[in-house]
Amino acid sequence: MTEQGKINREGATPASLFERADAAFGLGPVRAVPKLPPVPEALRRTSAPQSPAQPPVEVAPVVAAPQPQPQAQVQPQAAPQPSEPAPQQPQQQTAVALQQPAAVAFCGPFAAIDRDHLRDGGLIVPEDPVTGLLEEFRIVKRELLADARASDTPLARRILVCSPHPGEGKTYCATNLAIALAAERGLEVLLVDADVVKPSVAQRLGIDVEQGLMDALADPAILPESLVIQTDIDGLFVLPAGTATSLDAEYLASARTGEVLDRLTMGAPNRILIFDTPPALAASPAAELAAHVGQALLVVRADETSRAALEDAQQLLSACGDIKLLLNAARYSPSGRRFGTYGPKGK
Ligand SMILES: Nc1ncnc2c1ncn2[C@@H]1O[C@H](COP(=O)(O)OP(=O)(O)O)[C@@H](O)[C@H]1O
Ligand SMILES: [Mg+2]
């Protein structure tokens, strides 16, 4: 299915950290972030990979393939046009700031996050001593933040976390990244569960949720900020996936998606949106959302993700002009998807 020729290998713009990771993994001109530490041998997956016929990723040069006019390519019909404020010119900052709409305040229900639940799930616990895991995600967030702040478009503050297949660590990385980012002083981080098929962000954080993204997309009368859960982790907010329907794909492809996301980000330069998504090769949301974000983090498992799958996923995400690779070295037990399994054994 994948042809190498489909991917534009020109136009990658490596950053320093990514270049170092590329060199370590022989990725060539890919933008990649360092691999995450693997889980212990006892938790390692024993069954064959999902696509045994495909060779493990050798992670040969795969290019981010930024496309200059992303939205027209992925959603020619919906063609959501972010209506966020125009980029500020340095000499006009004061005047433009006065014209900017005020940011909407997140005003959904409050949820306390059980730190033991985070710990048992192998997630970053804000108050705990610094761990290797936190250090890894600090490096990742620095790269993402640097690009978000360097860009003159608010789109760069929306970051999609995706991967070709299930179980490659999208939710794990999106959640840890959101927690790590929330520790930044003055930053508001909204973790959006866009995996409407198998939502798991709320479960992973141990919070009960009802309505969310899909409800706001389906009903224009619903203010999305009223569904954003405020947490007791300073700076961390969560927009659950919400109520699934048979029209989810159509809702995500509609112009309403752009409106909702604009509303959540407008006038808030210190707000970052992280989207957890379903597998790019299994469902359409990641490709749809790629047109609404400025950065995409493509999670790959260095031991299992095939190059063909990686290239297919890249192509599906090509509406996003900045795709970065995150090499997740973690392996998991198929029977250990419950978070408790990653408790004491996982440390
Ligand atoms: N780097 C890692 N270290 C420890 N556990 C991980 C890591 N990456 C993924 N996992 C675990 O692997 C399982 C699958 O990850 P998940 O994030 O749910 O995958 P996806 O969202 O891509 O389907 C989860 O139980 C998760 O906690
Ligand atoms: Mg997931």
3-state SS class at 36: strand
Nearest CA to ligand 1 atom 25: 337
Q: How high does pLDDT run on average in the chain?
A: 76
The residue whose CB lies within 8 Å of the most ligand 1 atoms, and thus the one to mutate among 332, 335, 341, 345, is: 332
Q: 24-28, 38-42, 276-280, 284-288: lowest mean pLDDT where?
A: 24-28
Q: 4-8, 66-70, 257-261, 338-342: lowest mean pLDDT where?
A: 338-342
Residue 9 in this model has a pLDDT that exceeds 90: no
Looking at residue 36, its pLDDT comes to 58
- Return d(Cα 263, Cα 251) in angstroms, integer: 16
Residue 228 in this model has a pLDDT that exceeds 50: yes
The residues, any chain, with a CB within 8 Å of residue 139's CB and separated by 6 or more, are: 17, 33, 34
Which residues sit with their C-beta closer than 6 Å to ligand 1? Answer: 36, 39, 122, 163, 166-172, 328, 330, 332, 337, 342
* Position 286 in a domain: yes
Looking at residue 35, its pLDDT comes to 56
Q: Which residue has the higher pLDDT, 194 or 93?
A: 194
Note the pLDDT tens digit of each residue in 65-81: 233 333 333 333 333 34
Looking at residue 70, its pLDDT comes to 35
Looking at residue 219, its pLDDT comes to 97
Total-model pTM: 0.74
Q: Cβ of 327: how many Cβ atoms within 10 Å? A: 24
CA 87 to centroid of ligand 1, rounded, Å: 37
* Position 167 in a domain: yes
Residue 233 in this model has a pLDDT that exceeds 80: yes
Looking at residue 347, its pLDDT comes to 29
CA 166 to centroid of ligand 2, rounded, Å: 7
Residue 61 in this model has a pLDDT that exceeds 60: no
Note the pLDDT tens digit of each residue in 166-177: 999 999 999 999
Nearest CA to ligand 1 atom 14: 167
Q: Which residue has the higher pLDDT, 30 or 119?
A: 119
* Position 29 in a domain: yes
Nearest CA to ligand 1 atom 10: 169
Q: What is the DSSP string of 208-267?
A: -----HHHHHH-TTS-GGGGPEEESSTTEEEE------TTHHHHHHSHHHHHHHHHHHTT
Residues 188/158, Cβ–Cβ less than 8 Å:
no
Q: 33-37, 177-181, 337-341: lowest mean pLDDT where?
A: 337-341
Q: 40-49, 259-268, 281-290: lowest mean pLDDT where?
A: 40-49
Could you give the number of structural domains in the chain? 1
Nearest CA to ligand 1 atom 9: 169
CA 90 to centroid of ligand 2, rounded, Å: 40
CA 117 to centroid of ligand 2, rounded, Å: 17
Nearest CA to ligand 1 atom 1: 330
Looking at residue 46, its pLDDT comes to 33
The residue segments making up the domain with residue 128 are 10-45+59-70+103-335
Beta bridge pairs of residue 297: 161, 324
* Position 3 in a domain: no
CA 145 to centroid of ligand 2, rounded, Å: 23
**Two tokens at 145?**
């933040």
Phi-psi region of 267 (alpha: psi -120 to 50; beta: other; left: phi over 0): left
CATH no. for residue 135?
A: 3.40.50.300
The dihedral of CA 311, 285, 122, 120: what is its sign? negative
Residue 239 in this model has a pLDDT that exceeds 80: yes
> For helices 132-150 and 170-182, what crossing angle results, to 10°?
80
* Position 95 in a domain: no
Looking at residue 304, its pLDDT comes to 84
* Position 77 in a domain: no
* Position 4 in a domain: no
* Position 192 in a domain: yes
CA 148 to centroid of ligand 2, rounded, Å: 24
Looking at residue 31, its pLDDT comes to 58
In terms of average pLDDT, the best of 39-43, 100-104, 118-122 is 118-122
Note the pLDDT tens digit of each residue in 72-110: 333 333 333 444 444 444 444 455 445 667 899 999 999
CA 31 to centroid of ligand 2, rounded, Å: 22
Looking at residue 309, its pLDDT comes to 95
The residue whose CB lies within 8 Å of the most ligand 1 atoms, and thus the one to mutate among 137, 139, 172, 345, is: 172
Looking at residue 154, its pLDDT comes to 87
Helix (H), strand (E) at residue 135: helix 132-150
- Return d(Cα 301, Cα 325) in angstroms, integer: 10
**Two tokens at 107?**
């005003």
